[in-house]
């Protein structure tokens, strides 16, 4: 049995060295170290890697890190929520989100046209500029194609953006599929609705994306999942993998707990009862704020992948 060891700082300590030391620290530090090991095994084995995340993570500064991971070709497939798409586009347009407080005066924020997400703020003006740009994007896409899958739609938009820190841009540039099963649930979805009122023959086909993601997977290939948070993005990925035998590797980073019975709180162990993760899969579940746990885990992984020559487009 592994023994607990004291954590000690060393001058010039790398993130990967710190995560290695976490392995003997206990509690969630140990789990985070285990998660890093699983992600490394995914990449070393050549597994097809899903990265799933929710919109609040794109509101935060993780947005550019997701784009960078796409540039480095760490994930093969992204699954996210509609809010993440619109906020990526807003930031690509040059809109700034601000850090406020979890205890801000929300009535005062509302009067100023500011919308709070935790301790972050998005201004109404950002949504107004987004709406104007979306109409421009959709018209260009409509002129090319009247019926389109969500993944195709997001690729087309990504190709129209010019921002190295954009998830859509880097995914399109590096041929990484983005799936967004809940596309209607946001200002992005509302703009699709408004556009369709004027162009009745414009169809955004969500169901064909399901056919695409299922046929992309096979029983023979290894599959890995890095799931941040939960909700529809997490379930879409695990359900797609279920139909081809389940994931060989899985890492869940979340603030939710299994006592709620929610998808966000469901552990990798629970997923085995459904066949979403294989019985012998290497897996880890880490509880904690993803803006802390994910950069720590992935920077450690990237350090080691760089040393091993796995990274592309450095």
Residue 216 confidence (pLDDT): 87
Give the pairing of strands 48-53 and 223-228. Answer: parallel
**Regions in the chain scoring below 70 on pLDDT:** none
Helix (H, G, I), strand (E, B) or coil at 220: coil
* Contact between 51 and 74 (Cβ < 8 Å): yes
Residue 139 confidence (pLDDT): 97
Assigned domain for 264 exists: yes
Give the pairing of strands 277-287 and 120-123. Answer: unpaired
Residue 91 confidence (pLDDT): 98
Assigned domain for 41 exists: yes
Assigned domain for 27 exists: no
- The answer to whether the pTM exceeds 0.85 is yes
Assigned domain for 14 exists: no
Residue 15 confidence (pLDDT): 97
Assigned domain for 194 exists: yes
Structure tokens given for 175: 């041929």
CATH code assigned at 131: 3.40.910.10
Assigned domain for 285 exists: yes
Instruction: Give me the active site residues, please.
Output: 276
Assigned domain for 28 exists: no
* Contact between 289 and 255 (Cβ < 8 Å): yes
Residue 55 confidence (pLDDT): 97
| DSSP class per residue in 240-295 | HHHTTT-EEEEEEEES--GGG--TTT--HHHHHTTTSEEEEEEEEEEES-HHHHHH
* Contact between 55 and 115 (Cβ < 8 Å): no
pLDDT (tens digit per residue) in 48-87: 999 999 999 999 999 999 999 999 999 999 999 999 999 9
Rounded Cα–Cα distance for residues 235 and 233 (Å): 6
Query: Would you give the end-to-end CA distance of the chain in angstroms?
Result: 39
Tally of structural domains, the chain: 1
Assigned domain for 4 exists: no
Continuous segment of H or E residues that includes residue 50: strand 48-53
Task: Residue 297: give the domain boundaries.
Answer: 35-305
């Amino acid at each position: 049995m592994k023994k607990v060891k004291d954590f000690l700082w060393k001058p010039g300590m790398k993130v990967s060295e710190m995560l290695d030391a976490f392995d003997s620290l206990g509690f969630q530090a140990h789990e985070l170290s285990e998660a890093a090991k699983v992600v490394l095994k995914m990449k070393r084995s050549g597994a097809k890697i899903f990265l799933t995340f929710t919109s609040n993570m794109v509101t935060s500064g993780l947005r550019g890190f997701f784009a960078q991971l796409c540039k480095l070709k760490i994930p093969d497939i992204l699954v996210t929520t509609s809010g993440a798409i619109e906020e990526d586009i807003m930031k690509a347009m040059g809109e700034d989100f601000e850090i406020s407080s979890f205890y801000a005066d929300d009535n005062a924020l509302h009067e100023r046209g500011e919308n709070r997400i935790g301790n972050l703020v998005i201004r109404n003006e950002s949504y107004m500029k987004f709406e104007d740009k979306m109409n421009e994007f959709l018209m260009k896409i409509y002129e090319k194609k009247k019926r389109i899958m969500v993944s195709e739609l997001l690729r087309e938009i990504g190709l129209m953006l010019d921002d190295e820190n954009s998830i859509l841009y880097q995914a399109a540039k590096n041929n990484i599929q983005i799936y967004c099963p809940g596309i209607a649930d946001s200002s992005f979805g509302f703009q699709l609705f408004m556009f369709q009122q004027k162009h009745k023959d414009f169809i955004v086909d969500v169901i064909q994306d399901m056919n695409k993601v299922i046929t992309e997977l096979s029983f023979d290939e290894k599959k890995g999942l890095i799931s941040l948070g939960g909700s529809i993005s997490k379930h879409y990925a695990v359900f797609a993998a279920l139909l081809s035998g389940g994931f060989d590797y899985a890492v869940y980073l979340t603030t939710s707990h299994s006592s709620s019975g929610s998808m966000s709180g469901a552990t990798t162990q629970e997923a085995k009862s459904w066949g979403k993760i294989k019985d012998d899969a290497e897996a880890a579940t880490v509880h904690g704020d993803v803006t802390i746990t994910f950069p720590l885990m992935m920077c450690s992984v990237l350090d080691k992948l760089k040393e091993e020559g796995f990274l592309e487009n450095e």
